Amino acid sequence: MIAAYLVCHFLRYHNAKGPLVWPIVGMIPQLSRNFKQGYDWVTGILVQTGGTFTFIVPWIPSLNVVVTSDPQNVEYILKTNFANFPKGKILRAGFHDLLGSGIFNSDHNTWLLQRKLASLEFYTKSFRDLTARSVQRLVHRRLLPILRHAAATSATIDLQDVMLRFTFDNICILAFGADPGCLCAGLPRVPFARAFDVATTLTLLRFTVPEFSWKLDRLLGIRRERKLHECLKTIEAFAADVIAKRKAEMADDRPSRRSDLLSCFLSSTDPATGKPSYSDKFLRDVAINFILAGRDTSSVALSWFFWLLQSNPRVEAAILDELRTVVRSSGRRCVRDPDFSVEELRSMQYLHAALSESLRLYPSVPIDNKEVVEDDTLPDGTRVKKGRRVLYSIYSMGRMESIWGPDCLDFRPERWIKNGFFVPESPFKYTAFNAGPRLCLGKDVAYLQMKAIAASILSRFSVRVVDGHVAKQKLSLTLFMRNGLPVTLHHRPLFDDGDCHSP
């Protein structure tokens, strides 16, 4: 009987080209052994299976997940049959306490409403001007003074932490119109920032246990859920304070016109009643969702970018050449301390390519999940059942020879350059900014911010990772470095003394 059961089990669940599926526990033993290097482990299986496999735990249907890196499947999920692959109830339930009904944790009409209103604001001149002003101010008034001090004192700093502080301040200004001051001198501890960081990690860990388990812990107020509850109270208090202050400002007889996203949503009223369209809870959800998107993604991308430059001096030299060309073409005579305009940043084609290449290898969001509404068949023939989840591995897609060629593991920005200009790839091949109807609204803002930071640092400093440090990935919503990025900085003028002349 036992032998017959094992044979039947093998025939039913075995991935012909993938890892062994054990009775009852399925693939959990392999996952446990490879947990810390999970993204690379999944990538290896996807290469072995031709781009798609099913993670199997025979007696727990919710843990049977189809994993794919096939661009055809991704296009089908994100665009062709978009309505059949929403976020889904499992994902929404896990993230609800942190993200509520915000844009990144909602589906259907709730998502569409926020998307439309946010997109109108993102493309206004006032919001673009606010973005440019905020980035330039943070670069010159906060980032560069901190880096100059580190260089002058030969101090080692965690560049990932500095980038997180920069992007946190910037997105809070854009989303809330409030400046938390994370990047101030001395790098102060900011309770809201700390609470937000811990809350995102604890929320992700909910998906490593059965749903009933974390819900029971939440009910009883124990273990991780107790800490998460404490963090959420800090987040709620910050959001409530900012919303109350903004409402008071807008109730003034002469309210100032603000371009942040919170003000945009606060300005919306119900045509029938003239009352505000959204509750304070909904406004909190909107702002927190945009902070999650804008804070972690750009900072993580920049951290991996500087890590890759360490071992690719040829690329760094090419970026410096482009920066010199941009400054010379402006006609400026003294260039000891260059200040790059928005137009100059946009003209930096090679830097844009280098950042895109870094995101190809180390996407800020390494995986994404969808839930199947009705039985379906993916373009590669894989059948997916109603209620099951489909996971597409963005990290793996950037490392597939079948997608990017035999040099897929090489950091080569030139793959993006055609006739001297950056040429984007299909978003279903390069999904770092999502694709289809959920294509990232903040893509242009993210590139502007990353280019401003990278250009400002590289034109002034040589950044060197501390000897012996190895960047390891952290299991999180975004691809953090587990132990940060300790670096030293050394002053390096963009031009030699003979190239800089006083006017």
List, for residues 158-181, the tens digit of each pLDDT value. 999 999 999 999 988 888 788 889
Report the pLDDT averaged over residues 130-139.
91
How do residues 143-156 score in pLDDT, each as one tens digit? 999 999 999 999 99
Report the pLDDT averaged over residues 11-15.
45
**Domain annotation covers residue 478:** yes
Report the pLDDT averaged over residues 84-103.
89
Chain centre to alpha carbon of residue 248: 33
Query: At 473, is the secondary structure helix, strand, or coil?
Result: strand
Model confidence at 7: pLDDT above 70: no
**Domain annotation covers residue 444:** yes
Q: Please give the pLDDT value at position 381.
A: 96
CATH number at residue 468: 1.10.630.10
Contact 159, 458 (CB under 8 A): no
Contact 374, 393 (CB under 8 A): no
Q: Please give the pLDDT value at position 18.
A: 61
Q: Please give the pLDDT value at position 244.
A: 86
How many whole angstroms separate alpha carbon 449 and alpha carbon 138?
10
Higher pLDDT, 497 or 447: 447
Q: Please give the pLDDT value at position 11.
A: 39
List the domain range (segments joined by +) for residue 72.
64-186+293-499
User: Average pLDDT of the chain?
Assistant: 86
**Domain annotation covers residue 236:** no
How many whole angstroms separate alpha carbon 396 and alpha carbon 83?
25
Alpha helices in 184-312 (DSSP H): 191-205, 211-220, 223-251, 261-266, 280-310
461: which strand partners?
Answer: 491
Band (pLDDT 50/70/90 cuts) for residue 260 is confident
Q: Which residues fall in the annotated binding site?
A: 440
Q: Please give the pLDDT value at position 408.
A: 97
Model confidence at 10: pLDDT above 60: no
Residue 370: φ, ψ to 5°: -135, 160
Query: At 462, is the secondary structure helix, strand, or coil?
Result: strand
Q: Which residues contact 351 (CB under 8 A, 6 or more apart)?
A: 319, 322, 323, 451, 454, 455
**Domain annotation covers residue 229:** no
Q: Which residues contact 61 (CB under 8 A, 6 or more apart)?
A: 387, 388
Long-range pairs of 496-500 with CB within 8 A, sequence gap ≥ 24? 499/335, 500/333, 500/334, 500/335, 500/336
Report the pLDDT averaged over residues 187-216.
87
**Domain annotation covers residue 259:** no
Tokens coding 212: 């009933």
How do residues 451-474 score in pLDDT, each as one tens digit? 999 999 999 999 999 999 999 988
Q: Please give the pLDDT value at position 91.
A: 84
Q: Please give the pLDDT value at position 104.
A: 81
pTM of the predicted structure, to 2 decimals: 0.89
Q: Please give the pLDDT value at position 214.
A: 93
Band (pLDDT 50/70/90 cuts) for residue 35 is low
Band (pLDDT 50/70/90 cuts) for residue 282 is confident
Contact 293, 464 (CB under 8 A): no
Judged on CB neighbours under 10 Å (0-12, 13-18, 19+), 409 is exposed
Band (pLDDT 50/70/90 cuts) for residue 494 is confident
How many separate domains does the chain show?
1
Q: Which of 293, 263, 289, 288 is nearest to 278 (CA)?
A: 263
**Domain annotation covers residue 231:** no
Report the pLDDT averaged over residues 280-302.
85
**Domain annotation covers residue 431:** yes
**Domain annotation covers residue 387:** yes
- The β-bridge relationship of strands 421-422 and 383-384 is unpaired
Q: Which of 43, 22, 14, 1 is nearest to 393 (CA)?
A: 43
Percent of the chain with pLDDT over 90: 53
Q: Please give the pLDDT value at position 3.
A: 45
How do residues 104-134 score in pLDDT, each as one tens digit? 888 888 888 888 878 877 778 888 888 889 9
Q: Please give the pLDDT value at position 238.
A: 87
Q: Which residues fall in the annotated binding site for heme?
A: 440
Q: Read out DSSP for 391-428?
A: EEEHHHHTT-HHHH-TTTTS--GGGGEETTEE-PPPTT
